[in-house]
Structure 1
Amino acid sequence: MTDADFEYLRGYLKQKSGLALTAEKRYLIESRLLPVCRRFGIATLSDLVGALRLARAGGLDKAVIEAMTTNETFFFRDRAPFDLFRDVLLPQALAARAGVRRLRIWCAAASTGQEPYSLAMLLNEAAPQLAGWRIELIATDLSTEVLEKAKLGLYNQFEVQRGLPVQLMLKYFEQVGEQWRLRPALCQMVDYRPLNLLDRFDHLGTFDIVYCRNVLIYFDAPTKADVLARIAAQLAPDGAVLLGAAETVIGITDALSPDPKHRGLYRHGQARAVAPAPAPALAPAPSLPRFAMR
């Protein structure tokens, strides 16, 4: 791959997916795109660049983007964002949305589904308090390939053991040969849709809670600012955004501000800040059970 080819691919990936690659990541392009070349019968990366320049049909552009997308995820990843959902955000929603009995949640960059399914399990565990509520859990990703896997709800032994408490695995999964299948009722709780965060997403509507974790780290500062501002525009006045542990809005945008009480939680900037409703005075224990996360 020539320097010119590398620069073209860097620009192409930035434009199409927001992925910002430094010169040190040249090896990543080579390791991930050479298999794409073999799949499409293309001899070299230079020939692949030529095909992209000509906008050759046949799904090559999609294959290139999906090959470069990182899909690292697992159930209850980092634990804290899910404890926060169970202990703070869901109780606040029960109080603040009691009149409309509706809750809308968006998992952006959902990959193979472990994040939205983790939330679905917590929602199911709180079912007695949510009886009669309309819950919308929308999960999006750039890659249609990972979304298809997510819809199947089928995971191998390593995937279900990684982060998933044993009691939840036994409750919500059934073993199928050497794999584990999520029970259909839980799969049906998640609405999967293909979406590129660089594109408009105002058609998704307003959300009460947004999980956009571990994707902004791949974007440059202007792209991060743009995506965060547009997420804020789709956020309810008292809504919440959760980012990854290595991500922040500080120095990037004023559209969102860190919640002073909870790390990784962000709300509207000062101009639109609305204090969240206090959590309802529920009886202790049974409504939102704690799990021994691994």
Structure 2
Amino acid sequence: MTGPDYDHFCRLVRQRSGLVLTPEKAYLVSSRLAPVARTEGLGTVAQLLAVLRIGASEALVQQAVDVMATHESYFFRDAAPFEQLADSVLPPLIAARQTQRTLRIWCAACSSGQEPYSVAMILMEMGHRLAGWKLEILATDMSEPILRKASAGLYNDFEVKRGLSAERQARWFTQEPDGWRVSPKLQQMVRFRPHNLLQGSSGLGVFDVIFCRNVLIYFDIETKRQILDQLRRAMAVDGSLLLGSAETVLGVSDAVQPVPGLRGLYRPADGSLARSA
């Protein structure tokens, strides 16, 4: 798949989401746009690309961009970041926040919600150590349809069995005719809102912990640098950033530095850059 219509779509996706589509990704574009083309009553993906280039509705443009994002997610994905959160990140933060008794966590590009709900489980399972604290989890994603699924907190059998122990499933989920519903206690802890990482973090506030995992791998170096810099500015001076195991800041940005021995965990490189909480 080549030509001006395809090239225009690649530029559109990059402009709106930061995702880089190369000619080698043509098969991916075709497979993900095919359902959209059928829904719109268009015969082929090529026809859809032509419509997008000539002038489509904003709703159709956004839908086409949204389907190009990878929304792969599951509970406690990769395990290690959540173990780091419980064992290495939260204990010093709890000790340092004894006066204000507030913790703010941001799950950027949260997809269908499994990550923020996993974080909420960890916070709830810390019991008396966080009793009486104000705990806020902000979960954002650029796709409003995927946010609606996340906010609903309803998952099928396959989804709840990916990463969840039987004990956690029984404790934090209730079975319904259409699947498994997240406990109201967890839902109340998480606030979902649309947000595009390319728009910066202005207006979101300062966070003690930021999850931005398995996202940077889809961007070019300059976009990665911009996102890392804005994530850094949203971190508290003693905050933490968790990236995916396949992601690195080496040769990209010096805004954050890795924590020795804890792969994927980063701390501010220069505390003077952070806003005061």
With over 3 angstroms needed to count, the CA separation of the structure-2 counterparts of 1:271 and 1:152, relative to structure 1, is: closer
Q: Does 1:176 align with 2:176?
A: yes
Aligned to 1:78: 78
Aligned to 1:245: 245
State how 1:11-30 maps to structure 2 within 5 Å. 11-30=11-30
Aligned to 2:266: 266
**Separation in 2 of the partners of 1:58 and 1:82?**
38
**Separation in 2 of the partners of 1:55 and 1:184?**
43
Aligned to 2:56: 56
**Separation in 1 of the partners of 2:33 and 2:62?**
12
- On the 8 A contact 1:214/1:243 being kept in 2, the answer is yes
Aligned to 2:133: 133
- On the 8 A contact 2:140/2:195 being kept in 1, the answer is yes
* Pairwise CA distance, 1:272: 4.3
Q: Percent identity?
A: 48
* Pairwise CA distance, 1:80: 0.4
* Pairwise CA distance, 1:54: 4.0
Q: Give 1:40's aligned amino acid.
A: E
* Pairwise CA distance, 1:94: 0.8
Q: Give 1:128's aligned amino acid.
A: H
Q: Give 1:114's aligned amino acid.
A: Q
* Pairwise CA distance, 1:161: 0.7
Secondary structure of the 1:43 match is coil
Q: Does 1:236 align with 2:236?
A: yes
**Separation in 2 of the partners of 1:25 and 1:53?**
19
**Separation in 1 of the partners of 2:97 and 2:65?**
39
* Pairwise CA distance, 1:131: 1.5
- Superposed CA RMSD: 1.6
- On the 8 A contact 1:2/1:46 being kept in 2, the answer is no
TM-score by length of 2: 0.94
Q: Does 1:105 align with 2:105?
A: yes
- On the 8 A contact 1:257/1:270 being kept in 2, the answer is no
Aligned to 2:205: 205
- On the 8 A contact 2:9/2:53 being kept in 1, the answer is no
Q: What is the number of equivalent residue pairs in this alignment?
A: 274
**Separation in 2 of the partners of 1:270 and 1:59?**
41
Q: Give 2:6's aligned amino acid.
A: F
**Separation in 1 of the partners of 2:178 and 2:133?**
36
* Pairwise CA distance, 1:178: 5.4
- Gap runs ≥5 in structure 2: none
Aligned to 1:5: 5
Aligned to 1:66: 66
- On the 8 A contact 1:18/1:223 being kept in 2, the answer is yes
Secondary structure of the 1:204 match is coil
- Gap runs ≥5 in structure 1: 275-294
- On the 8 A contact 2:116/2:137 being kept in 1, the answer is yes
**Separation in 2 of the partners of 1:271 and 1:171?**
39
- 1:231-281 Cα offsets, whole Å, 9 max, x none, are 00111111100000110111000111111131110111246499xxxxxxx
**Separation in 2 of the partners of 1:46 and 1:178?**
36
Secondary structure of the 2:198 match is coil
Q: Give 2:228's aligned amino acid.
A: L
Aligned to 1:278: none
- On the 8 A contact 2:153/2:187 being kept in 1, the answer is yes
Q: Give 2:100's aligned amino acid.
A: V
**Bigger mean CA deviation after superposition, 170-179 or 64-73:** 170-179
With over 3 angstroms needed to count, the CA separation of the structure-2 counterparts of 1:216 and 1:149, relative to structure 1, is: same
**Bigger mean CA deviation after superposition, 177-186 or 25-34:** 177-186
**Separation in 2 of the partners of 1:34 and 1:83?**
40
Secondary structure of the 1:70 match is coil
**Separation in 1 of the partners of 2:226 and 2:69?**
20
Secondary structure of the 2:199 match is coil
